[in-house]
Amino acid sequence: MPSFFGGKDKAGGGAASNERIPRHSSGWGQVLERMRKEESLRVLDIGPTSSNNINFITALGHSIYLANLVEDAAKREWIIPQEDGGPGRFDVERFLAAQLNFSGRGFDIVLFWDTADYLPEELLAPVLEQIHQVMAPDGGLLAMFHSATGSSMSPGSRTDFCRYHLTDTSQVNVQSAGDYPILNIYTNRQIEKLFSAFKGFHFFLGKDNLREVIVTR
Amino acid sequence: MKPPEGSTVIGKSVTIRGELSGKEDLYMDGAIEGTITLSDSRLTIGPNARVQADLDARDVVIYGRVDGKVRATGRIELRDSAAVRGDIVAERLSIEENATIKGRVELTEVAVGTAAPRPPETGLFSQGATASTPA
């Protein structure tokens, strides 16, 4: 099974591991800079629950809202079976209403992590559209995308879905949070298209197989 | 699991619809739709509980699933098997590995006179929040 960074995982299996691997993140470094400069930001963390992140963000004086979309989207309950026995269709409307209803809250920062690669393709654009709507003007979103280059990564690969623990440097500590298939690998052009409604974006290339992008609303 | 000694126990075969309030510690392992209010006491939500209710207590310990707002004037503990869908407001919060939250987390200031020294703003832990195990 590919590990976080495209190599082979020693442990195998789907169980989450306690091991945390430090990883440089220029994108997180930029977000952190903003979190230090500004007060009372509203942060949406779209990743597995991390007590570390709750503590870190609230200690900086910001508020946090948690929503793990990958785990929610992986449930069979969203699949509408087809009458002809063909592959089911993802119930996008019902998912958005149930999982992305923030009760009128707006957000200044969204930590989207590598969620995009694990969501069904038909769901991703509507999810980003919904997030665009709940973000404040000049709000920032941090996303990560796996790259197929130089690794065995491809759609259908089972890889560790990760929890990114925040630190007070340009580093995140990466911990396995479950075993989900990568559903899509996006090119930079496709990523730009996904975020076309946003004002701007800035790519950061990593030494591993993850590209980072900071998107501004 | 064994309920804490001295607690009132609501077993898993009991279903309640409405408002539940009291002044004693409560171990809830049944089903409830409504609210639970224990202003000065400890509320434990057992692993078999089916809770669709807003919870308000001094301390709240959750082993099971809760759909609703959870508010504690003291501490909220989310044990390994806990899954909360709703906002959390507490003075202190601890989350065990594999516990999940979907909702807003608000950690309130420690009351004057009981406050521990506040760590530096850039520290990992503040506002009474603690992480008992990594999540």
Confidence at residue A15, expressed as pLDDT on a 0 to 100 scale:
46
- Number of domains observed in the structure of chain B: 1
Would you list which residues of chain A are within 8 Å, Cβ to Cβ, of chain B?
A: 16, 18, 20, 36, 48-52, 54-56, 58-61, 63-68, 71-72, 105, 163, 165, 168, 175
Confidence at residue A159, expressed as pLDDT on a 0 to 100 scale:
67
The reply to whether B55 falls in a domain is yes
Q: Which residue has the higher pLDDT, A145 or B133?
A: A145
The reply to whether B117 falls in a domain is no
**How much is the mean pLDDT over chain B?**
81
Confidence at residue A153, expressed as pLDDT on a 0 to 100 scale:
59
Q: Are the C-beta atoms of B79 and B132 separated by less than 8 Å? A: no
Confidence at residue B127, expressed as pLDDT on a 0 to 100 scale:
33
Q: Do B124 and A56 touch (CB under 8 A)?
A: yes
The number of beta carbons lying within 10 Å of the beta carbon of residue B116 is: 8
Domain CATH for A67? 3.40.50.150
Domain that includes residue A55, residue range: 20-216
Residue A100's DSSP bridge partners are none
Instruction: Say which residues have a Cβ less than 8 Å from residue A5's Cβ, sequence separation at least 6.
Output: A21, A23, A208, A209, A210
The reply to whether B67 falls in a domain is yes
The reply to whether B114 falls in a domain is no
**C-alpha dist (Å) from residue B34 to A113, B89, B110:** 36, 18, 28
Partners of A178 on chain B (C-beta within 8 Å) are: none
Band (pLDDT 50/70/90 cuts) for residue B119 is very low
Length of chain A (residues): 217
The reply to whether A4 falls in a domain is no
Mean pLDDT of B119-132: 33
Q: What is the ipTM of this complex?
A: 0.72
Q: Are the C-beta atoms of A35 and A57 separated by less than 8 Å? A: yes
% of residues, chain A, pLDDT over 70: 87
Strands A158-166 and A171-181: antiparallel
The reply to whether A2 falls in a domain is no
User: What SS3 state is found at A134?
Assistant: helix
Question: Model confidence over A95-124: pLDDT tens digits?
Answer: 999 888 888 888 999 999 999 999 988 899
Terminal-residue alpha carbon distance, chain A:
36
Residue pointed to by tokens 């559209």? A129
The reply to whether A137 falls in a domain is yes
The reply to whether A168 falls in a domain is yes
Band (pLDDT 50/70/90 cuts) for residue A157 is low
By C-alpha distance, the chain B residue nearest A63 is: B106
Q: Do A55 and B125 touch (CB under 8 A)?
A: yes
Q: Which residue has the higher pLDDT, B96 or B122?
A: B96
Mean pLDDT of A69-80: 88
Question: Model confidence over B38-67: pLDDT tens digits?
Answer: 989 999 999 999 999 999 999 999 999 999
Report which of A47, A41, A42, A39 is spatially closest to residue A66, judged by C-alpha positions.
A47
Confidence at residue A111, expressed as pLDDT on a 0 to 100 scale:
96
Band (pLDDT 50/70/90 cuts) for residue A14 is very low
Q: Out of A15-19, A121-125, B114-118, pick the least confident.
A: B114-118
- Number of domains observed in the structure of chain A: 1
Q: Do B125 and A59 touch (CB under 8 A)?
A: yes
pTM: 0.80
Q: Are the C-beta atoms of A126 and A116 separated by less than 8 Å? A: no
Report which of A3, A10, A32 is spatially closest to residue A182, judged by C-alpha positions.
A3
Q: Would an 8 Å CB–CB cutoff place B109 in contact with chain A?
A: no
State the maximum Cα–Cα separation within chain A, in Å, rounded to a whole number: 56
Confidence at residue B74, expressed as pLDDT on a 0 to 100 scale:
94
**How much is the mean pLDDT over chain A?**
84
Partners of B134 on chain A (C-beta within 8 Å) are: 18, 20, 50-52, 165, 175
Confidence at residue B36, expressed as pLDDT on a 0 to 100 scale:
95
The reply to whether B132 falls in a domain is no
Secondary structure (H, E, C), A26-74: HHHHHHHHHHHHCCCCEEEECCCCCHHHHHHHHHCCCEEEECCHHHHHC
The reply to whether A7 falls in a domain is no
The reply to whether B1 falls in a domain is no
The number of helices, as runs of H, and strands, as runs of E, in chain B is 0, 12
Confidence at residue A197, expressed as pLDDT on a 0 to 100 scale:
93
The reply to whether B80 falls in a domain is yes
The reply to whether B59 falls in a domain is yes
Of A16, A59, A66, the CB nearest to B102: A66
Q: d(Cα A160, Cα A3) in Å, to the nearest integer?
A: 6
Domain that includes residue B80, residue range: 8-107
